[in-house]
Amino acid sequence: MNLTIIRSNRKTISMRITGPDSVEVRAPRRMPQAQINDFIERHQTWIEKHIARVPQPAAPFTAEEIRALADKALQVIPDRVRHYAALIGVGYGRITIRNQKSKWGSCSAKGNLNFNCLLMLCPPETLDYVVIHELCHRKEMNHSPNFWAEVEKYAPDYKTRRKWLKDEGSKLIARL
């Protein structure tokens, strides 16, 4: 277990779990080390219980897994783009599949679309939201109220889909 002790001008001692095997203790500047050690020992059961609740980081994707996801994305995403481009009434350029650590998709000024291969691990409605989002940039190259109104026409629950990407998708990206 990694233990970090931070002393400051506080009056009380506190403890928090900061990772799967990390504990941070905050103590008054003048508190004797023996008193801090006693506090930690008295709370050992609490520490073990709460460390057990911290999710362990998932293993990184292998190169083979990334390749398989990219291959699947090349089969699935162009069909979804064609479908929604026709509904939205926009054209587009090239479609590229990548394994990006910060983006789910992007649209260039020329209309080229990039999508993250990890979309293959997302629910279908979330994938569709990303496709819709990028295609709506063909009408509005910004995130103005007009842009979001356009997205909402084709994905009325887009806020739920965005939330899924933030909450669950971030766990996928962390594995890259």
The count of C-alpha atoms lying within 13 angstroms of the C-alpha of 92, restricted to the half-sphere facing its C-beta, is 28
Q: Is the distance from CB of 141 to CB of 109 less than 8 angstroms?
A: yes
Q: In this predicted model, what pLDDT tens digit does every residue of 122-132 receive, in sequence order?
A: 999 999 999 99
Residue 38 CB burial class (10 angstroms; 0-12, 13-18, ≥19): exposed
pTM: 0.73
Q: Which two tokens stand for residue 157?
A: 């629950």
Please determine, for residue 5, whether its predicted confidence score (pLDDT) is greater than 80. Answer: yes
pLDDT number for residue 55: 79
Q: What is the mean pLDDT of residues 50-57?
A: 84
Q: Which two tokens stand for residue 38?
A: 């006693």
Q: Which domains are present in the chain? A: 2-53 (no CATH), 63-173 (3.30.2010.10)
Percent helix / strand / coil, the chain, rounded to 5: 50, 20, 30
pLDDT number for residue 58: 85
- Residue 18: helix, strand or coil by DSSP? strand
Q: How confident is the model at residue 54 (pLDDT cuts 50, 70, 90)?
A: confident
Please determine, for residue 57, whether its predicted confidence score (pLDDT) is greater than 90. Answer: no
